[in-house]
Chain A
Amino acid sequence: MPPPHVNPNAVFLNIPYDEEFQKLYLAYIVGLSQLGFDPCITSGIPGGERRLDRVLALIQGCRYSIHDLSRIELSAAPPATPRFNMPLELGLTITWAKLYPKRHTWFLWESTPRRLQKSMSDLDGTDPYIHSGTVEGILSELRNAFVRNGAPSVQSMMATYRLVESNIERILAGAGTRNLYAASVFRELCLVALDAVRRTKDAIKP
């Protein structure tokens, strides 16, 4: 089977789809769009035995991936269980990048320094980007991870983030859902973020 086409500007986002992460999720979408990247998530991929194949195909189609492990924790609802989808997707990605290092580069993100050594000691020697659980932290670390000429300032990206965030309710109302991670809402947030690139003076444009 031929290797899948890689979008050189696509970034696979391995993130938790929970309420507490919503602001950071939006920050990733806005920040990556402002830096000239296209975020991709697994939301919208149907369940079942083919799901894993589709997740792998999505990873293979992206030149980069961000694995945000800041919310790997026990669920509040009994029985207290950690969710393993994110570490599984990280494992798939690491394997793919080991096989084809020129086709994929992955990054680890955490909110707290040294937590990764405790949760995943096999990754010792891999330095994560630390966002401190804040929107500004995400935007700042995106600029640190992806160095591109003419990158907008964190201040400018924050202004765009605030503008998109203040209109979330209207976007959700139109989409007829409360789920910010729904596939259709994700695509709509990407559109709004791209529209902001068009309007922002210092955003990177083609």
Chain B
Amino acid sequence: MPRPIHITTPIEPLESRIKRLRIPKARQKELLAIMDEAWARLAVDRIKRPIVSVQRGEKLESASATR
């Protein structure tokens, strides 16, 4: 097995790491808007999923039934 490295160096703040990428502000906005939508969709999916399955009449298995 390769030997792991234990990292103790502090992590640089996100702002300076993003600044170093030198992406024009307008493009940054576009990219963050794309990801805003994606994260929002994910949040909705996470909330909806169990509700949808119950509405469709699917039976939720109890913990004991799955064992």
Residues of chain B with a CB closer than 8 A to A147's CB: 4-7
Say whether, besides A9-B9, A171-B31, A188-B23, A145 and B14 are in contact (CB < 8 Å). no
A129 at the interface (CB under 8 A from B): yes
Q: Is A103 at the interface (CB under 8 A from chain B)? A: no
Report the count of interface residues on A (CB-CB < 8 A): 38
CA distance A163 to B39 in the complex (A): 8
Q: Does A57 contact B (CB under 8 A)?
A: no
Within 8 A of A (CB), among B32-48: 32, 34-35, 38-39, 42
How many chain B residues touch the partner (CB < 8 A)? 28
Q: Mark A121-165, 1 if CB is under 8 A from B, else 0.
A: 000001111000000000000001111100000000000000100
Overall SS of chain A's interface = mixed
Work out how many contacts link A and B, with CB atoms closer than 8 A.
81
| Residue A194 at the chain B interface, CB threshold 8 Å | yes
Residue in B5, B11, B12, B23 whose beta carbon sits within 8 Å of that of A105 in the complex: B5
Interface check B53, CB cutoff 8 A: no
A182 contacts B by Cβ under 8 Å: no
Known contacts A8-B9, A197-B14, A198-B14: does B21 contact A145 (CB below 8 Å)? no
What is B's interface to A at a CB cutoff of 8 Å? 1-2, 4-7, 9-14, 17-18, 20-23, 27-28, 30-32, 34-35, 38-39, 42
Across the A-B interface, give the 9 residue pairs with the lowest CB-CB distance, nearest first: A36-B11, A127-B2, A206-B11, A8-B9, A148-B7, A187-B21, A147-B4, A206-B13, A147-B6
